[in-house]
A and B are shown apart, each in its own frame.
Chain A
Amino acid sequence: MAGEKRGGEVSAREAIFANVRRSLGVTGAEEPRRFESEARLAKAPPGVVPKRGQGGAEARIATFKAEAERAAATLAEVAALAEVPGEVARFLRENNAPATLRMGTDQRLATMPWSVTPLDILHGPSDGHDLNAVSVAFAAIAETGTVALVSGADNPTTLNFLPDNQIVVVLRSDVVADYESVFVRLRETYGKGGAPRTVNFITGPSRSADIEQTLLLGAHGPRRLHIVIAG
């Protein structure tokens, strides 16, 4: 355990557990309690899941688009992955953004025909000086118009927060109904009880209402979130 080097911390841990157990009137060894908590961790029951995001693929995509727009994201749909670069270039041009674009080493991005666009492509994490970045979502959630991104060797997390214009590619087959569906996919990918270093659920561009409750977009994170649905 982390704190075992420090004598004081071990006793703090023991004191807290002892006090929790004293207050609850338990020893921690009671079988039924152990059984109940272990069963919950193993089964992860879903609870109340809203109907809003449910439905077939087309219904989910329609709900996803409507909800993402409510959260001030912009959206475009293209028929094939090969059409993504053209759409990204159009979006940047229309927003008077410079023709540079940073991305991770995600294979799906690497195989797209970026050379048909005038964009200068940069790879790797951001040092805070990039204006535009593109990533591929792990999944998208119809219920709240949310994109889910995971960190990994191909997917720098800095791209989700430092650039002004965040562009996220969502594959049509990755639009799921709800958060619970993303958790199922996470367990398939990382194993039960496992997780990537970071999962970012992102719903619209960054904002703040801290000055007189005036809602403004572009607080510390991206000023714009553009979602390209493809495939």
Chain B
Amino acid sequence: MSAVATTSKFKENAHDALTDARLQGALVHARNFTVRRAAAAERLPEFEALRDNARAVKDHTLAHLDLYLEAYERKVVESGGQVHYAQDAEEARRIIIELCRSLGAKSVTKGKSMVSEEIGLNQALEAAGIEAVETDLGEYIIQLRGEAPSHIIAPAIHVTKQDVEQDFRKAHRDLPATRDLSEPEQLLAEARSVLRARFLAADVGVTGANFLVAETGTSIIVTNEGNGDLTQILPKAHIVIASIEKIVPTLEDAAQLLRVLARSATGQDASVYTTLSTGPRRPGDPDGPSAYHVVILDNGRSSMLGGEFEDMLRCIRCGACMNHCPVYQAIGGHAYGWVYPGPMGAVLTPSLIGVAEGGQLPNASSFCGRCEEVCPVRIPLPKMMRHWREREFERHLSPAPFRYGLGLWAFFARRPTLYRFATDLAARAMHLAGRGKGRFSWAPLAGGWTQYRDLAAPEKTTFQSQWRAKSGAVK
């Protein structure tokens, strides 16, 4: 079993998120990402060509995944490291706990890793009597709060600085109660000094990997804080947990993906620390871990190869799709109910935990297409959400109003003339209903949405009829 999901309650979760004023205040900050990504893309003339090639690198790798995995494994062993395979979350947790026990580990520091969230590693370590300390500032904050990340690159984006102050006062009881923690600078300084001690005391460091390079047997992590590096160089052992699709053939291929990753994620040309790790400490090295283990996780991914969701395995976890998603912007990440939120989560979650649990997520879309426009590896996210919807529809798992609405749409979609007539009519009616404000707060079959959000009122005519009028083509 993986991390616990509340995905089947997506509708209730979303409702709660929309009425949570504190959350709505915090989510405002998520919008900075879109501006920064656009500026970074603008600054690099080769950005679109890099996206095309990033997609090609991933497609090539997936088509030869068995061979590159073999090559990668050979190189890790050659450089003195060990490779372990886990078919599912349970197996991955067991391997990591056994490794920690064999090393006599009492304390484990962790770099930020979505795969470790996916397998619920922290809870398992704690249950085994091993202390797990998240070291990425955002991950540390949510660990103190007992929460899951709400964003794949900004895990605490739903938290305000007042929340962090309260959490730190509760957790760091040995520090003077009178200290000033009103500003982010002071909060960061406190986290830095508290965590510095934890880094130095840890027995094992666990990191994820952005890429695993077959050519050299290297794992690559990308951070801005430097926490992933302190996690892996100070303890006696470094354990990497990564899923099978993180493999890339060569260092050059990794560079292609790195160039689109940071720009799509935070709008930086390069993250501060891009670290290549190959095996354990070498003879004569004055520091670094004495043991190096890689745990390679499948957890449902190998079954996605060759099928209609294979494209999703190109994902490099940049977060751009959620940053640009109007649904994510409105409800945040927790409403999605499992590890991966936003459009990428809506596609990946049903693949990994099953359509019965995750099948509502692909409805969390307005099909505006922004996610696909910004995805650095050009994953057709809306199309894949539609695939899931169709499957879910076939299985009759959808709530009745949704089935009814989609059925009606399908009826009209097969009859274009009738569809144009009906939507023209509806647009006129809705334009009237929203007159004066340009938006209206009620729409048929959309109660769950418009109860908390005003829907933009459409123009008097539909896009199709405007297009026909402007292009002069009547079809």
For window 90-104 of A, CB contacts with B under 8 Å fall at: 104
Q: Are B215 and A219 in contact (CB under 8 A)?
A: no
Closest to A162 in B: B230
> Are A47 and B230 in contact (CB-based, < 8 A)?
no
Q: With an 8 A cutoff between CB atoms, is B391 at the interface?
A: no
Question: Is B286 interfacial (CB-CB < 8 Å)?
Answer: yes
Task: Take A25-B306, A144-B270 as given contacts and tell me if A207 and B249 are in contact as well, using a CB distance cutoff of 8 Å.
Answer: no
Tally chain B residues at the interface, Cβ within 8 Å. 108
9-residue interface stretch from A14-22, A77-85, A108-116 = A14-22
Kindly count the residue-residue contacts between A and B in the assembled complex, taking CB atoms under 8 Å apart. Answer: 281
Are A153 and B285 CB-contacts (below 8 A) given A3-B85, A203-B270, A213-B29?
yes
Chain B residues contacting A7 (CB-CB under 8 Å) are none
CB pair A40 B275 closer than 8 Å = no
A33-77 interface (Cβ within 8 A of B): 33-34, 36-37, 40-41, 44-52, 67, 70-71
Cα of A2 to Cα of B291 in the assembled complex, Å = 12
Contact of A151 with B272 in the complex, beta carbons under 8 Å: no
B269 touches A144 (CB 8 A): yes
The answer, among A20, A21, A71, A200, for a CB contact under 8 Å with B244, is A20
Query: How many chain-A residues does the 8 Å CB contact rule pick out?
Result: 86
Query: Is A87 among interface residues, defined by CB-CB distance under 8 A?
Result: no
B91 lies within 8 A of A205 (CB): no
What residue of chain B has the Cβ atom nearest to residue A183's Cβ?
A: B251
Check: B264 CB closer than 8 A to any chain A CB: no
**Do B284 and A152 have beta carbons less than 8 Å apart?**
yes
In chain A, positions 177-231 with a C-beta closer than 8 Å to chain B are 178-180, 183, 186, 193-214, 216, 218-222
Chain A residues within an 8 Å CB radius of B305:
20, 23-24
> Is A194 in contact with B224, judged by CB distance below 8 angstroms?
no
- With both chains docked as a complex, state the minimum distance between the C-beta of A124 and any C-beta of chain B, in angstroms: 6
Contact B63 A24 (CB under 8 A): yes
User: Which A residues are in CB contact (< 8 Å) with B161?
Assistant: 211-212, 214
Residue A146 at the chain B interface, CB threshold 8 Å: yes
CA distance A157 to B278 in the complex (A): 13
Quick one: closest A residue to B25, CB to CB? A212
Assess whether A21 is in contact with B85, with CB atoms less than 8 Å apart. Answer: no
Instruction: List, sorted by A's number, 19 A–B pairs whose CB atoms are closer than 8 Å.
Output: A2-B77, A16-B298, A33-B67, A37-B64, A44-B250, A48-B46, A49-B46, A71-B272, A151-B288, A153-B284, A156-B286, A160-B229, A162-B230, A195-B278, A199-B276, A201-B273, A208-B137, A216-B188, A221-B225
Given contacts A2-B82, A36-B64, A183-B251, 13 further A-B contacts (CB under 8 A): A2-B77, A23-B306, A34-B67, A44-B251, A151-B288, A158-B233, A179-B251, A196-B278, A198-B278, A203-B268, A206-B273, A207-B225, A219-B227
